[in-house]
Structure 1
Amino acid sequence: MSEQAWQHARNILCIRLDYLGDVLMTTPALRALKESLPGRRLTLLTSRSGAEAARFIPEVDAAIEYDAPWLKSSNQRDARADMAMIRLLRRHRFDAAVIFTVYSQNPLPSALLCHLARIPLRLAHCHENPYQLLTHWVRDPEPQERVRHEVQRQLDLVATIGARTADERLSFRVAAADAEWAASCLRSLDIAPGMPWVVLHPGATAASRRYPAQHWKAVARDLSARLACPLVLTGSAQEAALAQEIGAGIARAYSLAGQLSLGQLGALIAAAPLVISNNTGPAHIAAAVGTPVVDLYALTNPQHTPWQVPSRVLFEDVPCRFCYKSVCPQGHHRCLEGVSPARVVGAALELL
């Protein structure tokens, strides 16, 4: 089906069923869709964390949360929830659907969902011939022919239907109330405007993407000794004990793990001179708000480095690179174990 048909699609369903970082890396493509037709409305079908992020993405008009059964993170259930989702999408009378996936994902389950919801235009990358499930099939060249950054992959996808933008930055809008909270929080920690301080984010959803705790401790100690600056540790409630362990015994190390909403985390990162993080959501928030980031980058996949922001991407090259696993299949975790704390501190000093 021709590009011209998309020029009349005003009500578009955008499907990105992954986590926070993946959704943020899709925002330049969402902006391209939004800017290419005035008055266009975008609804994001996404995971729970993606729906939470949507509140801070100005290109998204509405979000629908969906625990898709074809993703590894989904819970077991019967088909009634999926049938209900088809009915819900049908009621929205979408003109078109754009399915955003990484190259290791199959878009066809989402395409079938849209087909059953009677969405007439359906666009996605796909390795195999989708026949009638996609009206606009973009043959997927990854990873056999090349690998693009995840942001570029999605920009290239929407460009095939004429959607482009001059602004390819990630999108995360800090709310005024969250910015005020961050300013108040920093005052309470006696962190004055203009002084150096660092956000440390030691957690990650996947074990394979976590820099070792003992290395984090050494980084925190060395940064404190060299700069005598405040260190603010962030993370989920489940990571609070880890944050406390890393900051223990270090002057001016403060843990806010388990205490922040997503909006507050975004505002804190936007106010920070530097973020040091595993390759997880906060690294991409930093990119979206323009905060320099040291990214401790496990070599699970190649295409998720910080986008258009001053950064240092640290890893130890290994033969088993790009395993795409949530748990290190070799058991040695060498791609991160091999990154010395001294390298991390050196990278931080370069960016501060």
Structure 2
Amino acid sequence: MNLYNAFVMELLRLVFLGVRLLDRRPPPSKDIRSARSVIVFSTTAIGDTLMNTPAIRALRKALPGARLTAVADRRRADLLRHNPHIDALVIYPGKFRKLFSLFKKLRAARPDWAVVLHGNDPDIPILAYLSGAPGRAGWRESRMSFLFTHAPTIDRDLPFVRRRLDLLAELGVPEEGERTEITISPDAREAAARRLAAAGVDGAEEIVAFHPFGSRRSKWWPEGNGRTFVQRLTRETGRRTVVLGGEKEKASAEAFFGRMDERPVVLCGEMGLLETGALLQRCAALVTTDSGPMHLGFALDVPTVALFGPEDFRHYGVGHREGKAVFLMGEAPCERPCKKKDCDVEGHPCMASIAAGPVLDAMQSLLARPTPV
């Protein structure tokens, strides 16, 4: 954040601090279960959005007659579009964008409570306050936490799903399990089937989804490891590999795998989130780094091998059905978790130390397990 933005944010914080001090409304009861309308904010990444779904499910169970409105980032809204536990979906266009239109939609919901499950942008607590909800819950660590009526402290030792459930527990909401979820539409399944057919994948052919990329370069599995994995997977199991990723990874995927004899199907940047989820449902397994596709695999019960380097899998590796996921963590002399965008340690050991052989073995072991009930 540059000095100008920092100044504007501090000025905004002081303005709303003054507004809050002048607000004489008494805080509501800490128990949310009498609410008739609740807004939940879930405006961050793919994994964060999916890790919020157990909390949304718990809210619906605790408030069967209430109207639940979810506010989701425009790029990830499809993850909640068909969620059976919400009544309305409001698109968050981005930090301080289209605020008046968004403000009107939130006020129209006439919320009794606004709950910020996860929202990094500084206008999220402001929007929760301006929604008119008498009760507002979020984390004390937010710079705007004074706009909340209930703001517990984050226990950073807990997995992210657990943190959201604990926030709701403070409001009297019992949990309904830690499994994440997503509903895939029939249209998305048909689109995925057409895309695979266009890529020459037979309808009966066993395929494995592979995502060696990540939100930052330090999470990527090195090219050599990935190439060896694809080669061995094809030769030893006969299964075909489908490489997933965003538009930004397309050129890298072509460079990594384009000249291989065992060339995989590369679909980077070609599918939205729901179509990607539908494709994962078609796969025998998913091999992925700590990334959005990993969380999609968990939510869809796809057997998943997750490769972790900079981050601790105990925080992120949650939401899956027991027996459906294996976690492999690389070895490194570094302190973790590490938030660096690019690794500055020679050889990128935390990811490079995860060899292709153990990954393939883990996948085969996972597929050999009995299907959990």
TM-score by length of 1: 0.84
Residue 245 of structure 1 corresponds to which residue in structure 2? 255
Instruction: Provide Cα deviations, 1:177-207, integer angstroms capped at 9, x if missing partner.
Output: 22233345555634444x5421112232222
Matches within 5 A, 1:12-51: 12-51=38-77
1:281 Cα deviation from its structure 2 partner = 0.9
- Give the drift of 1:237: 2.4
Range 249-258 or range 323-332, more displaced: 323-332
1:262 aligns with 2:273: yes
**Residue 98 of structure 1 aligns with which residue?**
115
Distance 1:190 1:45, change over 3 A: closer
Superposed CA deviations along residues 219-274 of structure 1, whole A, max 9, x for unmatched, are: 11111111122111122222222233343323462122222222211111012110
What does 1:146-295 align with in structure 2 at a 5 Å threshold? 147-186=157-196, 189-193=200-204, 196-248=206-258, 249-251=260-262, 253-295=264-306
Deviation at 1:170, TM superposition (A): 1.0
Match of 1:111 in 2: 125
Q: CA deviation at 1:129?
A: 10
Partner Cα separation in structure 2 for residue 213 and residue 252 of structure 1? 14
Counterpart residue type for residue 326 of structure 1 = K
> Percent identity among equivalent residues?
27
CA distance in 2, matches of 1:296, 1:82: 39
CA distance in 2, matches of 1:128, 1:277: 31
Cα distance in structure 2, aligned partners of 1:26 and 1:300? 19
Amino acid of the structure 2 residue aligned with 1:22: D
Distance in 2, Cα, partners of 1:109 & 1:252: 46
Identify which range, 7-16 or 219-228, moves more after superposition: 7-16
Contact 1:15 1:98 in 2 (8 A): yes
User: Using the alignment, how far apart are the partners of 2:348 and 2:90 within structure 1?
Assistant: 36
Which letter does structure 2 place at the counterpart of 1:288? A
Q: Is contact 1:283–1:306 with CA below 8 Å preserved after alignment?
A: no
Deviation at 1:167, TM superposition (A): 4.3
Tell me the SS of whatever aligns to 2:151: strand
The CA distance in 1 between the partners of 2:340 and 2:274, in whole Å, is 29
Structure 2 counterpart of 1:123: 137
Give the gaps of 5 or more residues in structure 2. 1-27, 368-373
User: Structure 2 vs 1, CA of residues 223 and 140 (structure 1 numbering), >3 Å: closer, same or farther?
Assistant: same
Aligned-residue CA RMSD (Å): 2.8
Cα deviation 1:277-335 (Å, max 9, x = unaligned): 11111111111110011111132355111422311212223332112333336575321
Q: Is the 8 A contact 1:130 1:137 kept in 2?
A: no
Letter of the structure 1 residue corresponding to residue 68 of structure 2? L
1:80–1:110 CA distance, 2 compared to 1 (3 A): closer
1:205–1:131 Cα change, 3 Å = closer
Inter-CA distance 331–90: structure 2 relative to 1 (3 Å threshold): farther
Question: Which position in structure 1 is the counterpart of 2:15?
Answer: none
- Structure label with greater radius of gyration: 2
Residue aligning to 1:53 = 79
Distance 1:308 1:128, change over 3 A: closer
* Closer, same or farther: CA 140–236 of 1 in aligned 2, 3 Å: closer
Counterpart code for 2:115: V
| Of 224-233 and 22-31, the range deviating more from structure 2 | 224-233
Give the drift of 1:164: 2.7
d(CA) in 2 for partners of 1:97, 1:117? 8
CA deviations on 1:41-60 (whole Å, 9 max, x unpaired) are 22222322222322143323
Which residue of structure 2 aligns with residue 66 of structure 1? 92
Cα distance in 2 between the residues matched to 1:67 and 1:175: 23
Offset, 1:213? 1.9
Which residues of structure 1 form unaligned runs of 5+? Answer: 70-78
| Alpha carbons of structure 1 residues 109 and 263: separation in structure 2 relative to 1, 3 Å | closer
Secondary structure in 2 aligned to 1:126? Answer: coil
Distance 1:286 1:164, change over 3 A: same
Amino acid at match of 1:2: S
| Equivalent of 1:3 in 6, 12, 30 | 30
Change (3 A) 1:325 1:121: farther
Paired residues in the alignment total 334
Please say which of residues 325-334 and 236-245 is displaced more in the overlay.
325-334
